[in-house]
Chain A
Amino acid sequence: MSPSSSSPAVSERLARKASRHISERIIEATLFAAAAVSIFVTVAIVFILVRESVAFFQQVPVVDFLSDTQWTPLFDDAHFGILVLLSGTAVSSTVALAVAIPIGTTIAIFLSEFASQRTRETAKPILELLAGMPTVVFGYFALMFVTPLLQELMPELPGFNLLSAGLVMGIMIVPIVSSIAEDAMRAVPMALREGSYAMGATRLQTAFYVVLPAAVSGIGAAYILGIARAVGETMILAIAAGMQPKLTFDPREPAATITAFIVQVALGDLPHGSIGYQTIFAAGLTLMLFTLLFNILGFWLQRKYRERY
């Protein structure tokens, strides 16, 4: 090929390349803008949470907030012990996870390693339906169905209690845990399973000795997401657990959680800038810090296991 015949072709190709660069840059800019908006929104939320919380902590010392054992922000004798709300959140979340983690993991193992294609195709939409149900429905299910059922077994159980709300919340979280854990297990390469079968392992042995450990970081992520969902759940608790703030670790008692308190106050008509109004933000900030903590934990777990593999 002579240089004269090749050089226009080259410059033409370059020109086309340049124009492709422009369209690529537009796409890049759009994607960047989308990312920037979400970051901006997050920063704005954190900013407002922190600003209102700072105003709150100017009136209520942080020490009182963390150590007081009463939560009566709207009374004349106001107390602001966040532990009260945290205990409600902790108890209801623990009950929920005690349901969701074992059931969700079992379902994930079954669907990924044992179920036929057809069973899986039937089961997944049903689980997704469960996940897509409005939480109000779960709330009333807890209050009107599960609580009376539990009262048959425990006659002294009050009409509002953390146990019933936690159990139903657990059922609600099952699909989240099972679907993410199942995805993680299905992503385990077939070569690993074949290696295990070739050694004479059964399906059960393959699932527990090879697939589960190979999928551990994804399963961990599923649990963390389940925890985040439980800690943040509002409606079920507001409906079925009662809204009396109470420092308790007994799931049979009624109690308010952070989220339940926030809706309760937000639904009332508190004036802007009042201390009652600001408590929502302090409580919200606490909730956010906890969720952040779990996310960091999840991130750390994932990194740790990825390093080991």
Chain B
Amino acid sequence: MDPSRGAISELPIKAEVRNFNFHYGEFHALKDVTMPLCERKVTALIGPSGCGKSTLLRSFNRMHDLYAGNRYGGEIILHPDQTNLLDPRVDPIEVRMRLSMVFQKPNPFPKSIYENVIYGQRVRGVTKRSVLDDKAEEALRAAALWGEVKHRLHDMAFALSGGQQQRLCIARALATDPEVLLFDEPTSALDPIVTASIEELIHQLKEKVTILIVTHNMQQAARVSDFTAYMYLGELIEFGYTEEIFIKPRDKRTEDYITGRFG
């Protein structure tokens, strides 16, 4: 049926979305979505505004649990232990301990740069200074921010520029050694130069973590991702290697969207 599918299924899989449905109250926002996340690869979610990209991303770390009336159906399986992240018996806090998230707008806490980075450790009850210091440095280095902030770790995070704040949020997400990183349009509030640096960062990060990224920017999806999923009106229309999706999409709707967006 599809030659590339066969190839993908032979890759190590980090997570699998299976027959996933999502409701905001009565509104059926995601319909029967099934797709894999390959280990240590970048998967991009693309599609027109309102198609459900953020909804899918936020299901992975159970953000929808924070609001009443939301309903999950189906499964999101995390490997290697095959935990169903959506199982009501699975504590959402446990889930969020394994998957980190970076939001569209930088949202540093009203704390120092240092306290922001080690927030995840604090929340996990780590108090040993040397461990915290090491973690902070490691995460800030990984987020390519260490050089810029090492002399002012105890300044307030709000004193940083927008791009630095977003990298701080990435450092914060990395400091807990997540298995999967979830990005929701992480560069849409940033200028092109900062965007390029964050894309470069994502490229480096995939050596260690599996990444799922929502983006409106087709060039960005083409540049950073290995796999792309095209969504439309709550359905997954097409999933495959990024080159294939961009060069020879199988579905007419994908083709229209991509040609339209590339102009």
Contacts and interface: CB of A to CB of B under 8 A. Distances in A.
B66 A197 contact: yes
A189 B120 CA distance: 20
A201 B121 CA distance: 10
Interface stretch (B77-85, B99-107, B135-143, B232-240): B99-107
Residue among A189, A199, A213, A309 having the largest count of chain B Cβ atoms under 10 Å: A199
A129 interface: no
Contact of B156 (A189, A209, A308): A308
Contacts of B122: 209
A46 to B, nearest CB: 38
A194 B57 CA distance: 14
A191 B105 CA distance: 8
Given A194-B63, A309-B156, A309-B158, A199 B107 contact: no
B5 interface: no
A153 B114 CA distance: 50
Contact of A205 (B100, B101, B111, B123): B123
B82 to A, nearest CB: 21
Contacts of B111: 209, 213
Contact of B93 (A192, A200, A309): A200
Contacts of A197: 63, 66, 96
Nearest to A305: B110
Contacts of A214: 109-110
A195 interface: yes
A198 B123 CA distance: 11
Contacts of B176: 199-200
B124 interface: yes
Interface in B206-255: none
B156 A196 contact: no
Interface string B155-181: 010100000000001001100100000
B97 interface: yes
A161 B197 CA distance: 68
Given A199-B172, A200-B97, A200-B176, A194 B107 contact: yes
Interface string A174-201: 0000000000000001011111111111
B61 interface: yes
B109 A196 contact: yes
Contacts of B63: 194, 197-198
- Range for the number of chain B residues in contact with chain A: 20 to 34
B110 A199 contact: no
Nearest to B96: A200
B239 to A, nearest CB: 25
Contact of A196 (B97, B105, B119, B158): B119
A198 B61 contact: yes
Interface residues of A, number: 21
Contacts of A6: none
A287 interface: no
A194 to B, nearest CB: 6
B66 A194 contact: yes
A202 interface: yes
B123 A201 contact: yes
A277 to B, nearest CB: 51
Interface in B124-148: 124
A217 to B, nearest CB: 10
A209 B109 contact: yes
Nearest to A202: B93
Contacts of A205: 123
Given A200-B97, A202-B93, A195 B109 contact: yes
Interface string A269-309: 00000000000000000000000000000000000000011
B71 to A, nearest CB: 18
A215 to B, nearest CB: 9
A52 to B, nearest CB: 47
Contacts of B123: 196, 199-202, 205, 209
A189 B158 CA distance: 15
A191 B102 CA distance: 11
A296 B66 CA distance: 39
Nearest to B102: A198
Contacts of B105: 191
Contact of B119 (A199, A308, A309): A199
A209 B124 CA distance: 13
A268 B105 CA distance: 64
A232 to B, nearest CB: 32
A196 B63 CA distance: 11
Nearest to A199: B120
Contact of A198 (B101, B110, B124): B101
A209 to B, nearest CB: 7
Nearest to B97: A200
11 contacts: A192-B107, A194-B103, A196-B109, A197-B96, A199-B96, A199-B176, A200-B97, A209-B123, A210-B110, A213-B110, A216-B110
Which are the 10 A-B pairs with shortest beta-carbon distances? Answer: A200-B96, A198-B101, A195-B107, A200-B97, A191-B107, A214-B110, A201-B123, A199-B120, A213-B110, A309-B158
Interface of B: 61, 63, 66, 93, 96-97, 100-101, 103, 105, 107-111, 119-120, 122-124, 156, 158, 169, 172-173, 176
Interface of A: 189, 191-202, 205, 209-210, 213-214, 216, 308-309
